[in-house]
Structure formats: C-alpha cells, structure tokens
C-alpha cells in the first residue's frame, strides 16, 4: 500500500464516528459483587403500602438541571443541552437491548433497583429524605439511560422475573444490582439471590 493510501486510510479511520458506551459509576468486579451478594439479608415477606410519591425523584441537581438531565448528559455522547438543561440532541446507546437513539424522548432513566423493590427490601423504614437520596443516587450504579419501552417492560421486576434482553449484559446488570442493594443495605428474596448468582456466573 502506498504511503498516500495509508495516510488516507488512517485519516478516515480517525474521522469515523464512534459511539462511546458509557456506564454508571462504581460498578464492582464480579468477585466483589459475589462477596456483597453473600452478605445480603434474605427476606421472606414484602412490605405493603408502597407509593412512588414516597420516593421524590428527578430533583434539581444544579441550576435548572434535574437528575434525569444529568444522567442523560452522562450516558450520552455529544449531548447538547438547551437553556432549561433538557437534552436537545445527542446519541445514546441502551445497553439493555443494544439500541442506539438520537432523541432523548426515546429514553427512560431506569432505577436499576426499582423503587417498589427497594420499598419491599427495607426502604419502607427509611425517612423521606433517605428515599429521595436513593431515587436520585448518582454515586452508585442505580440510574441508567435505556430504551423507554424496555424500561417499561421491566417495571418493578427483580432479576428472577426480568433480565435485560441482551444476555451479554447479564454480568454488568447483576453487578450493578448487587452494588446498589449492598450500599443501601437492602434485602433480597431467595429467588432473587439465585437469579443474581446465575447472572454473575456469566461474568
């Protein structure tokens, strides 16, 4: 290959757009997640009285930016925000199903551990302030931008009842779920523990 052709090839390669697959923060290793899972309390009953309103979410983080907009900016590539902080353009990769989107309206911000599941796992005893912190947790892998209808299909299901469509994401999903439950000292059911163990074994 002539030098000019080589130069042209590398110039084209560098110019080709690539989509960075961003991930939530503080995802543990599989080994750490297995240790965390082993330490979680197993529950046999679920708390009643859940309401989504008990978990104030999408609170203001800074200026006019709420939690949803912060996660959209974090998880997307080349995100442009309007004066009200809403994402006016950008590109997002949804790791649950492998889809790529260019409109923020096609995305939901998933609570990896659903608010309803957290309530049943111990959050029913928390203060409203603590539930608000959980619902807007940007420090741990609790919030992630994903395809809206995939998130809606998940609903409030735990891993024994719902898993990401992409089996290749089982490992990461289980590591995120376990980390959140560990940090917030939430319990798991026996079926949930079995499902998470199986998913972590794919790592």
Give domain status of residue 135, yes or no: yes
Give domain status of residue 78, yes or no: yes
Count of structural domains, the chain:
1
Give domain status of residue 140, yes or no: yes
What integer pLDDT is reported at residue 14 of this predicted model? 35
pLDDT for residue 168 is more than 80: yes
Over residues 132-159, the pLDDT tens digits come to 999 999 999 999 999 999 999 999 999 9
Q: How far apart are CA 192 and CA 195, in angstroms?
A: 5
Across 105-124, average pLDDT: 98
Q: Is 154 in contact with 110 (CB distance < 8 Å)?
A: yes
pLDDT for residue 9 is more than 70: no
Give domain status of residue 15, yes or no: no
Q: Is 107 in contact with 91 (CB distance < 8 Å)?
A: no
Across 54-80, average pLDDT: 97
Give domain status of residue 160, yes or no: yes
Across 15-28, average pLDDT: 68
Q: What percent of the chain has pLDDT over 70?
A: 90
Give domain status of residue 196, yes or no: yes
Q: Which domain holds residue 153?
A: 23-200
Give domain status of residue 16, yes or no: no
> In the numeric block, which tokens belong to residue 155?
């609903």
Beta strand 65-66 with 60-62: parallel, antiparallel or unpaired? Answer: antiparallel
What integer pLDDT is reported at residue 7 of this predicted model? 37
Mean pLDDT for the chain?
91
What integer pLDDT is reported at residue 21 of this predicted model? 59
What is the pTM (predicted TM-score) of this model? 0.89
Beta strand 76-81 with 87-94: parallel, antiparallel or unpaired? Answer: antiparallel
Over residues 31-41, the pLDDT tens digits come to 999 999 999 99
- In the chain, helix, strand, coil percent, each to 5? 45, 15, 40
Give domain status of residue 143, yes or no: yes
What integer pLDDT is reported at residue 22 of this predicted model? 76
């Amino acid at each position: 290959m002539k030098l000019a052709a080589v130069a042209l090839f590398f110039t084209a390669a560098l110019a080709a757009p690539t989509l960075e697959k961003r991930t939530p923060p503080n995802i543990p290793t599989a080994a750490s997640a297995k240790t965390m899972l082993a330490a979680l309390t197993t529950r046999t009953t679920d708390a009643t009285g859940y309401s989504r309103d008990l978990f104030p979410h999408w609170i203001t983080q800074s200026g006019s930016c709420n939690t949803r907009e912060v996660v959209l900016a974090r998880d997307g590539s080349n995100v442009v925000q309007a004066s009200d902080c809403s994402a006016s353009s950008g590109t997002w990769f949804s790791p649950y199903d492998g889809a790529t989107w260019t409109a923020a309206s096609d995305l939901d911000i998933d609570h990896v551990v659903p608010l309803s599941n957290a309530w049943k796992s111990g959050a029913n005893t928390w203060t409203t302030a603590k539930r608000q912190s959980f619902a807007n947790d940007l420090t741990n892998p609790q919030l992630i931008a994903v395809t809206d209808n995939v998130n809606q299909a998940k609903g409030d299901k735990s891993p024994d009842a719902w898993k990401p469509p992409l089996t290749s994401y089982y490992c990461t999903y289980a590591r995120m779920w376990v980390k959140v439950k560990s940090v917030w000292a939430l319990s798991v059911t026996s079926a949930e523990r079995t499902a998470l163990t199986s998913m972590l074994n794919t790592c």
